[in-house]
Structure 1
Amino acid sequence: MNNKSKLVNKIALAGLIAVSTIAATSSPNVHAASATPIATPTATPTASAAQSLSAQKGSTYINTIYKLASVGKIPGLNAIAGKTPISAVHYKWGEPEVGGKLKGNHYELYNFGMGQGAYGFGINKSGVIYDLRNFGQSIDQTVGVKSLTFASVIQTLGKPKEVRFSGTDKIYVYSPAKAYELKFVGPSTVAKGKVAHIDHINVYAAKANT
């Protein structure tokens, strides 16, 4: 199978597990996901499509991220940190681009491209996901994860519980629930006159990291 066919198949499989931001807040079943169609850049957005995109930016989106994190989820997935086995993701999406051959405690990455976004999973030695990551998509950075800034996060959620640094990353850490940490990760420094945008978000279940 060529790379183009593999990509098409994975995007089709993504529809089986990816969900709209709104649907994700109401459905607790990782296997009951359904996709919300994404308007192509050349299409004229319908009212519902415009509302969907509008919901993926600013304080509305940040509050949705926080609400999902309180139950161990991230936008775009029904997987639950600390509960969902990586085998469920493999069943829906096939093998990942990165990390599929690794054993024990490791990370795996799926990058669907074509504006479909990228997701990462931290997996413990028992095969349970303890860290969910949403990298958003890079085609339209006016919506989704990469549209957010550290300033907009603070404006919406207040000051983080903790600020961490790892390499070139700055990490704002919030505690939406006792079992989970919500992390907004972006560059620790940017060029003068530039604004630091969020690169990805994490929902982390510390007790499952074994």
Structure 2
Amino acid sequence: MLKKNTKTNSSLKIGSKLALAGLIAVGSMAAIAHSDVHAAAAKPDTSSIKAQQGSTYIKTIYALAKEGKIPGLNAIAGKTPISAVHYKWGDPEVGGDLKGNHYEMYNFGMGKGAYGFGVNKSGVIYDLRNFGQSVDQTVGIKSLTFESVIKTLGMPKEVRFTGTDKIYVYHPSTKYELKFVGPSKVVKGKVAHIDHVNVYAGKANL
């Protein structure tokens, strides 16, 4: 009898992990009962493959950034608590044991993408990062290039360099910065693709 229960518990644990990973594609989070708390649920990307490859997708990213959001999440930079993410997705792979201002990372693998969260000492998310997925780099975040970003949004007023990264910084609103991050140098003959996008709420980075 004990052996049977152990097997059942093991099956339940495996099922729970699979369900958690599936949230990135199909999950929706119940609203937390507080007017200032925003659910941080993953939602299906309803954009067509064509839209995800070009200027339409870039315009969608920019439009979401005006509201403090990134594709694939309902979280709002500067408002959503990281506890809402923990509630739905469980503990992060990176950063879950850190205190004060820190970053947390979720990587769902299998083409489902990866997300990062900058968290302030009060537990509020001030930076949202979407790394896209690496299985099919002809669609999504990693299909974008600096050239396609400039063609759609124009040359940014600010370009930053950090380590090996080049960062195009746009200001979709007075509250938020939208950053397209990619390599500052590439092998001759190669095109620099975007690695991830950020929506940053500077006033919440306390």
**TM-score between the two structures when normalised by the length of structure 1:** 0.83
Aligned-partner residue type, residue 16 of structure 1 = G
What CA distance in whole angstroms lies between the structure 1 residues aligned with 2:42 and 2:177? 26
Letter in 2 for 1:143: V
State the Cα distance separating 1:7 from its structure 2 match: 4.5
2:168 aligned with 1:172: yes
In structure 1, the partner of 2:192 is: 196
- Indicate whether 1:36 and 2:44 are aligned: yes
Which runs of at least 4 in structure 1 moved beyond 4 Å after TM superposition? 1-7
Instruction: Check if 1:114 corresponds to 2:118.
Output: no
Q: What's the counterpart of residue 74 of structure 1? A: 70
Report the CA distance between 1:87 and its aligned residue: 0.3
Is 2:43–2:73's contact at 8 Å kept on the other side of the alignment? no
Unpaired runs of at least 5, structure 2? 1-9, 30-36
Whole-angstrom CA distance in 1 between matches of 2:173 and 2:86: 28
The question of whether the paired residues in 2 share the 8 Å contact of 1:183 and 1:203 is answered with yes
Alpha-carbon separation, structure 2, partners of 1:63 and 1:33: 22
How far apart, CA to CA, are the structure 1 residues paired with 2:119 and 2:41?
21
How far apart are residue 6 of structure 1 and its match? Answer: 6.2
TM-score (norm 2): 0.85
Distance in 1 between the 2:111 and 2:196 partners? 15
**Offset at residue 53 of structure 1 (A):** 1.8
Structure 1 residue 36, shift from structure 2 partner: 2.9
* Partner residue in 2 for 1:9: 19
2:181 equivalent in structure 1: 185
Structure 2 matches for 1:134-153, cutoff 5 A? 134-153=130-149
- Residues 6, 190 of structure 1: CA spacing in aligned structure 2 closer, same or farther, 3 A cutoff? farther
- Cα deviations across residues 14-43 of structure 1 (Å, max 9, x unaligned)? 33249xxxxxxxxxx943957438xxxxxx
Q: Which has the larger radius of gyration?
A: 2
Instruction: Summarize the alignment of residues 15-54 of structure 1 with structure 2, pairs less than 5 Å apart.
Output: 15-17=26-28, 30-31=38-39, 35-36=43-44, 52-54=48-50
Q: Is the 8 A contact 2:44 2:72 kept in 1?
A: no
RMSD: 2.2
Deviation of residue 83 (structure 1)? Answer: 0.3
Instruction: Give deviations 1:87-122, integer Å, cap 9, x for gaps.
Output: 000001000010011111000000000000000000
Match of 1:130 among 121, 126, 134: 126
- Count of paired positions: 188
State the secondary structure of the residue aligned to 2:52.
coil
Question: What percentage of aligned pairs have identical amino acids?
Answer: 72
CA separation in 2, counterparts of 1:183 and 1:34?
A: 20
1:205 alignment counterpart: 201
